[in-house]
Structure formats: structure tokens, C-alpha cells
Chains A and B, each alone.
Chain A
Amino acid sequence: MSYEIGPVELDFLKEAGNIGAGHAATALSKLTGRRMDMSVPSASLIPFEDILLDEEEEAASAVVFKLSGALTGWMIFMLPAAHADRLALQMTGGTHPASVSLMQSAFAEAGNIVCGAYVSAVSDLTGKALSLSPPQQAADMKSALIAEALSAVAPEADAALMIDACLTGDSLSSGMQGSLLIVPEPGSLQQLFPFAGEANE
């Protein structure tokens, strides 16, 4: 196992998530013209074998990015398909679904905002530069989307960082339960936290 980070670093990544979520919510609120809040209740490292053991056949929409700079790997923002459609609808200002490509593009932009905000927060907190590739969008079975990002780093890695994200808004009948998944390349998290070992001792 090549991810030797401890509770202190996980807390840091969760906190960065909350700061990023704040920025993302503000940006999404402006775009949709509705109040939105976002919070990050948990962050954890999960071994590959355990990631798919929950029933995760539900349809989901995902936006994927390649991470480069101080943290390298992959990042995914995911929402259940129905929530993604609702968010895209609010972003395009429509009352009924626009063309599929417009909806996809709107959702990709939402992913861009959320992941971009997270990456900026990590960057601000560590003083190191991180950047994202342009987004790739796909809609499918949730578990397959997750597996897909994991296989990109699979030759060397055995675990991924899962960050839950709750998106709520006053106009939404129910919250949107999304997730941010970061799959760092092995060694990359240690680069971001060069003193990780010491802090945990």
C-alpha cells in the first residue's frame, strides 16, 4: 500500500473540501440564480476491493478530470442521474430538459466548478500549484464509473480517496448527494504532505 497518510492529512483534505465546497456553492448559486449550499461530511481512504461492495448499480452522471501539478491522478465528480439532470436544468434556466448535449455540457460545467474549487482550496492551503484537465463526461452505472477512474492508476495503487459532497438548495425538494473521488497516483499524496509521517507520530 502506497498511501501512507494519516488522520491529520485526511482531516486536511476534508477541510479543503469544505472550503472548496463553499466557493463552488457560491458559483453555482450565481449560475442558477438559486441559493445553494454544499458541505463535505467525510473523507476516507478506501481499498479497491471494498469500494464496490455496496449496491451501486444506480445510474449516475460523472465528470472526470486529470489532475496535474503538486497532486497527480484523477478526480471525479458524481451525482445520481436524476440529480444531475435537475442541476443541469437549473443551470440552463429551463423548465423542461433541453437537448441532451446541452444538459451534458451544463453538468460538465458544474463538475468543473466543483472540482476547480476543490483544487484551488488545496492549492491555497498548501501553497502548491495544482491544475485540472478539461472535463470528460459520462453517464452510466455508478460503480462502473468509479472503477473506470481507478483502473487509470491501478498498476501501482490499491486505494482511493473518497470525499462525500452534499449539495442542497432552498428550491430543491431534496438535497443532492454527490461524491468527489480523488484517485491519486502513488506517492503523490506524500508529495503534497512531505511531513505527513512526522505529524502523525
Chain B
Amino acid sequence: MSEIIRVGMADMKSAHAGKRLRTTGLGSCVGIIIYDEKTSSAVMAHIMLPDSQNTSAPVKRAKFADTAIEDMINYFLGQRIPKHRLRAKIAGGAQMFSFSNSDTFRIGPRNTEAVKQLLSDASIRIVFEDTGGTSGRTIEFNPEDQRLEIRTVHKGVVTA
């Protein structure tokens, strides 16, 4: 069994072949994996919100889709991996509660949209996504074969 690197909420970690990246508790949050097949280099982020623009607090960059994706891309550029080689897999963005007149619990769909838009703006192809619905997810990515394992309470394990 290869070592598992745990990615917390509002957190971001990188790994190469021989280690795996894992994050748990994706409700409305979105797990983003950006990787390079050639070097088996991968980064996983667990973002909670779409946009860092409207916050007055000091920005924790991995908490927001925009700043997290920017940092992820810069990580690869720093390793001299060109952007055109990058691919993405995403999961999460569920809506678990339905407070009828509260926008706060519609974050899931907004997170998913923001992540897809940002990746598309950066010309990074999304090769797989499992988003939406009403169930929480735990995901695990293996940089070696680029397989993503998605676990939910109700539907068991899916591998993509």
C-alpha cells in the first residue's frame, strides 16, 4: 500500500507516484485534482467557496476556487511542466441541506460552476467529473495511474 497524503478542508497538497492524495468530507466543497500524466505529478485541493473577491478576512488561498487553481497551476509551472500537459478531475459540489431561503446552502452548484469555468479559462481539460447530487464524497487519487476513487455513504465506491 502506498502512503496516503491527507488533504484537509481549505487545504492543498502535492504528490508523485508511490503516494496517494485523499480528501474526505466533500459536501458542497469541491475536490480538484490537477495532474501531469508524463511525470505522474499531481496536486489536490479541497475548496470551500467559489470566489475570494468578496471576503474581507485575510485570504486562505486553498479555501477558494480562484486562488487555489491559480496556485495549482503555478506549482506545475514551477516544476517546468507546461500548462498544455495538465489534466483535471473534479468531484463534489453536492447540496446536502435545503434551507429554502438561504443562499449559503446552495454553495455546491456555485462551487462546481466556478471550478469548471476557471479550469476552462486556463485551458485545462476536465477528463472526469462527479459533481452535484445530495451526497457527501470522499476521494482518493493515485498519481501513478491517475485513477480517482470516489466513495459515498449510499452508493459505495466508484473508480474513474
Interface size class of B (residues with CB under 8 A): 35 or more
Contact of A138 with B97 at beta-carbon distance under 8 Å, contacts A50-B8, A148-B27, A152-B105 already known: yes
B residues lining the A interface (CB < 8 Å):
6, 8-11, 23-29, 48-49, 54-57, 60, 63, 94, 96-99, 102, 104-105, 107, 134-138, 151-154
Q: B136 contacts which chain A residues (CB < 8 A)? A: 140-141, 143-145, 147-148
Q: B98 contacts which chain A residues (CB < 8 A)? A: 136
In the complex the two chains form, is A143's CB within 8 Å of B54's CB? no
In the complex the two chains form, is B48's CB within 8 Å of A57's CB? no
Which of B63, B102, B135 is in CB contact (< 8 Å) with A154? Answer: B63
In the complex the two chains form, is A154's CB within 8 Å of B49's CB? yes
Task: Report the number of A-B residue pairs with Cβ-Cβ less than 8 Å.
Answer: 113
Q: Complex Cα distance A57/B105, Å? A: 21
Q: Complex Cα distance A56/B27, Å? A: 13
B115 → A minimal CB distance (Å) = 14
Q: A145 contacts which chain B residues (CB < 8 A)? A: 27, 96, 136
Main secondary structure of the interface of A (DSSP, over half): mixed
B-contact bits for A112-132, CB 8 A (1 contact / 0 none): 000000000000000000000
How many interface residues does A have (CB within 8 Å)? 35
Interface centre among B10, B28, B138 (most CB of A within 10 A): B10
Q: A136-B99, A140-B135, A148-B28 are in contact. List 19 more A-B contacts (CB 8 A).
A: A48-B10, A49-B11, A51-B9, A53-B8, A56-B24, A57-B153, A140-B96, A141-B138, A144-B25, A144-B27, A148-B27, A148-B105, A151-B28, A151-B49, A152-B104, A155-B54, A156-B56, A158-B60, A186-B57
